[in-house]
Amino acid sequence: MTDELPLPRAIKVFISFVALLRHNGFAVAPEQTTAFLAAIELLGPRSLEHIRRAGLATLAPPPERRATYDRLFDIHFRGSEAIERAEGEDEEIVRLQEDGRGEDEPPLADEANESGLAAARTEALVERRFAPGTTSDALRRLSREAPRRLPRRRGHRRMRARRGPFADIRRTLRDSVRNDGEVLRLGHLKRRLRPRKILLLIDVSGSMKARTEENMTLAHALMQAARNVEVFTFGTRLTRVTRALRMKRREQALNAAAHLVSDWDGGTRIGDALQAFLAVPRFGGYARGAAVVVVSDGLERGDVSALRDAVAKLSRRAWSLSWLTPLASGPGFRPQTEALIAIERFVDDLSDGGSSAAVVSHLLSLGGRRAA
């Protein structure tokens, strides 16, 4: 009886890449893994592009998931330098702070917002790590009820129905042929219902530090449960984390988002973040006709008039605009901060955002509402 030989150290990185593909829903057979290793040995390889092409030829990802394959390849072999900007796409990180003003002396890194519990204007560039956690009851409820309770809109395509505003002439004539030309019943059509877009804007500044991890976990669960979801984070920068959160495994998705976002637990510039969001045409298009949900305490340290103007523009584009703040924990909540008072008349809901259960309940309640 012979002992099994250990794998060479150089091969482990390629086998772990195959395991990463399997964890994200790619069907890779053992024979394909063997062929992948043989192709790498044959090619040399001299560059990462050789390894990428060897994987395409042997692991055979489906064409519709080619972008996901390339993304996983870059994350596995290139690390954080490939996450910050994908090849061939527009910049997805908008820096909000204005350099060269000279109004305030920037604090030292050791003195800047040490507790992370107060709103600040200055930018703090830090790296955050998310610990693996369990799935809460609120997230299970979101995954279970999202397909039937999230908001929908009427599409342009039509479907058969017992009653409807449109006549199904084709079906009516086909049935009349079976009855010697007699029209016994008129067919009807109605518009199909399609999922409405959801735009989630998450405050990751220092004053929201206690809620950041739960909010990001909830955003990942929402993206797995529904289509047409866009997720942005803001503090002193505006960052689109949609592509990172599309990964199936929560730990990998949150780690990819952690590499993308560089202003964790920093300053709070809500107005400038929303102005930057509306200034990019591609980003502003995500809000048109969407259910927009902003998760923030509203402790603005920038110009309140900029926040008011941005929220007013956003409310005109969106189907509905909700602002969820941890400050609204009681039933008789009235806004006390200057920022929340300024935007109150522009939002459809100013509700509790202090727990995952409260945010999930609000998201699931949007399906039974109409636009204000």
pLDDT digits (tens, 9 = 90+) for 34-65: 989 888 888 777 788 888 888 998 998 888 78
| Whether residue 170 sits in one domain with residue 228 | no
The whole-number pLDDT of residue 125 equals 53
Residue 275 lies in a domain: yes
| Whether residue 201 sits in one domain with residue 55 | no
Q: Which of 75-89, 173-187, 358-372 has the lowest mean pLDDT?
A: 75-89
- Tell me: pLDDT of 220 over 80: yes
* Of residues 209 and 63, more confidently modeled: 209
The whole-number pLDDT of residue 322 equals 95
Cβ density class 184-198: b for 16+ within 10 Å, e for less: eeebbbbbeeebbbb
* Of residues 94 and 218, more confidently modeled: 218
The whole-number pLDDT of residue 109 equals 33
Average pLDDT over residues 100-118: 39
Q: Which of 11-25, 151-165, 337-351 has the lowest mean pLDDT?
A: 151-165
The whole-number pLDDT of residue 53 equals 87
| Whether residue 186 sits in one domain with residue 56 | no
The whole-number pLDDT of residue 96 equals 60
- Tell me: pLDDT of 102 over 80: no
Q: Which of 4-18, 237-251, 341-355 has the lowest mean pLDDT?
A: 4-18
Residue 116 lies in a domain: no
pLDDT digits (tens, 9 = 90+) for 121-144: 555 555 676 767 667 899 999 999
pLDDT band at 297 (very low <50, low <70, confident <90, very high): very high
pLDDT band at 290 (very low <50, low <70, confident <90, very high): very high
φ, ψ at 109 (rounded to 5°)? -60, -35
> What secondary structure letter does DSSP report for 232?
E
Most confident of 100-104, 128-132, 235-239: 235-239
Task: Name the token pair of 291.
Answer: 């259910």
| Whether residue 178 sits in one domain with residue 33 | no
- Tell me: pLDDT of 112 over 50: no
| Whether residue 255 sits in one domain with residue 177 | no
| Whether residue 211 sits in one domain with residue 176 | no
| Whether residue 315 sits in one domain with residue 242 | yes
The whole-number pLDDT of residue 367 equals 84
Range list of H helices, 64-208? 66-77, 80-83, 137-149, 169-178
| Whether residue 219 sits in one domain with residue 327 | yes
Of 78, 94, 109, the last residue of a domain is 78
The whole-number pLDDT of residue 97 equals 41
Quote the CA–CA distance of 337 and 329 in Å, as a whole number: 15
* Of residues 42 and 362, more confidently modeled: 362
Quote the CA–CA distance of 114 and 109 in Å, as a whole number: 9
Residue whose pair of structure tokens reads 């390894």 in the numeric block = 51
Residue 27 lies in a domain: yes
Residue 249 lies in a domain: yes
Task: Name the token pair of 342.
Answer: 């300024």
Measuring CA to CA, which residue among 67, 92, 77 is closest to residue 20?
77
Q: How high is the mean pLDDT of the chain?
A: 80
Residue 2 lies in a domain: no
Question: Cβ distance 356 to 139 under 8 Å?
Answer: yes
pLDDT band at 113 (very low <50, low <70, confident <90, very high): very low
- Looking at the 3D structure of the chain, how many domains does it have? 3
Residue 117 lies in a domain: no
Residue 64 lies in a domain: yes
Residue 229 lies in a domain: yes
Residue 172 is part of which domain span? 158-192
Of 53, 78, 103, the last residue of a domain is 78
